[in-house]
Amino acid sequence: MGAEKLLINQKTNKTAISKTGYRALYLLRLLIASPRTREEILEAFEKDFVMAKDKKLSKDTVTNTINTLKACGCEIKRPNSKNGFKYELVSHPFSFGINKVQFQYLQELRKSLVTYGDWKLIDEINELYASLSEFAADEKMRSAMLNNRPLKNISSGVLNQLKKFIKTREIADIFYVSPRNGKEHIDFLPLFLRFESNKLYLWGFSYSYKNIGYLRADKILNISAKTEPANIGPSECEEFKKSCLSVRYRLTGYSAHMFFEGVDDRVIFRDENSVVVETVVYNEFNFLQKLMNFAADCEVISPVYFKNKLKEHIQQTRACYDD
């Protein structure tokens, strides 16, 4: 429908809109876009095709319209020398926000997505929720959307640095709070990030310990490029990787249902009831923990060395219960 048709009732030939309502909403839009002086508002009114027909427009019209907005719950700052004599809209009640039920559902969705163990997805969801938090109906929900999230203990600064170092394959000096040794500097070649047991781990080659290890991302205080003349190079890491074992195992039951292929896994076979996986083992201790987590759903197929290793680990755990 054309604007003219909306403006005039064709049957009665009378105005088919509320002119003051139109003016108030027009001003609301102007002030949402940016603060304006009274003169700027009047000029905009005079240029509008609906209001231009009204010959009685004046500065008082502007004041009255501002008062109409205020009467309906808009908070508008008075013009003064500090704000360049502009009317400034602080808040208004005409925006819908994410209500409590929707907020709870969004949080539930985020929680269920964590079970994929895909840290990139979690990071992206967190970024999206940060943008959407502007729409939360109150401050409490806004704060929860921003802060009540997975990866909450990791600063965005550290996370961005980790992503950068993984991409550039640079050797880093990582200042780390080790659970066993306290604060220490580690020369580390970051390889990839992995989300496991609700925590984010940085995997890489530790030149300090000469092995592939993992660091808890939330315990990293600082990460910087290795500036000292390095007598180490990425080739040492490549050599180590070549020497890593590949372990083949079969999963059944719940573990097979829930198995999600990681960066170092390769699915060899999959049917309704089972999955056979081959994994490159960068860290034996961590891999043993992973297999223990599968409980009786897991059987190591090869190599024999790792079958024995797991058996020994199970027996040591079982020995705690030899009353």
Partner 1 sequence: MTTKEQKMANSGIRVLEILKKLVEKPLSKDEIIKLIEDNSSTKNIYSKETVSKYLNTFKLLGIDIEKIGDKFYLRTNFNKINLDKKKLETLNFLKNYALGVHRKEGSIKITELFRLIENSFDDETIKEQAHLGGLRLGRRVSDSSALMIRTFEEYCKDRRRLKIKLKDGRNFSIEPKDIIFKQEKAFLLGYNLQKREFKEFFLEDIEEVTRQPQRALDNNFLNPVMFRVKGGLAKVYDLREGEQISETHKHKKVILNYAEDRELLARRLLRYGKECEVLSPQEFRQYFVKLLDEMAAKYD
Among 10, 13, 197, 231, binds partner 1 (CB under 8 A): 197
In the sheet that holds 220-225, the strands lie side by side as: 211-216, 199-206, 182-196, 172-178, 220-225
Of 241 and 311, the one with the shorter C-beta distance to partner 1 is: 311
Cβ neighbours for 40, distance < 8 A, ≥ 6 positions apart: 86
Of 123 and 171, the one with the shorter C-beta distance to partner 1 is: 123
Which of the residues 258 through 287 are near partner 1 (CB under 8 A)? 258, 260
State in angstroms the smallest separation of the CB of 224 from partner 1. Answer: 25
Distance CA 233, CA 117 (A): 31
Residue 288 within binding range of partner 1, rule CB under 8 A: yes
Applying CB under 8 A, which part among 142-150, 159-167, 227-235, 306-314 lies near partner 1?
306-314
Of 38 and 313, the one with the shorter C-beta distance to partner 1 is: 313
Of 18 and 246, the one with the shorter C-beta distance to partner 1 is: 18
Helices (H), 116-233: 119-132, 139-147, 156-168
- Classify residue 151 by its DSSP letter: T
Residue 167 within binding range of partner 1, rule CB under 8 A: no
Of 73 and 157, the one with the shorter C-beta distance to partner 1 is: 73
Which of the residues 173 through 192 are near partner 1 (CB under 8 A)? 179-180
Residue 7 within binding range of partner 1, rule CB under 8 A: yes
Which of the residues 211 through 240 are near partner 1 (CB under 8 A)? none
Which of the residues 34 through 73 are near partner 1 (CB under 8 A)? 50, 64-65, 67-69, 71-73
Of 105 and 209, the one with the shorter C-beta distance to partner 1 is: 105
Residue 17 within binding range of partner 1, rule CB under 8 A: yes
End-to-end CA distance of the chain: 86
Q: Do residues 258 and 297 make contact, with C-beta atoms less than 8 angstroms apart?
A: no
Of 81 and 316, the one with the shorter C-beta distance to partner 1 is: 316
Q: How many residues bind partner 1 (CB under 8 A)?
A: 83
- Classify residue 149 by its DSSP letter: S
Distance CA 162, CA 164 (A): 5
Q: Do residues 222 and 175 make contact, with C-beta atoms less than 8 angstroms apart?
A: yes
Q: Each residue of 102-116: b (16+ CB within 10 Å) or e? A: ebeebbeebeeebee
Of 81 and 197, the one with the shorter C-beta distance to partner 1 is: 197
> What is the CA 174 to chain-centroid distance, rounded?
23
Applying CB under 8 A, which part among 93-101, 156-164, 186-194, 262-270 lies near partner 1?
93-101
Among 59, 94, 210, 238, binds partner 1 (CB under 8 A): 94
Residue 85 within binding range of partner 1, rule CB under 8 A: no
Distance CA 323, CA 321 (A): 6
State in angstroms the smallest separation of the CB of 286 from partner 1. Answer: 10
3-state secondary structure of 154: coil
Distance set, CA 182 to CA 171, 176, 266 (Å): 22, 8, 36
Which of the residues 100 through 159 are near partner 1 (CB under 8 A)? 101-102, 105-106, 108-109, 112-113, 115-116, 121, 124-125, 127-128, 131-132, 134-135
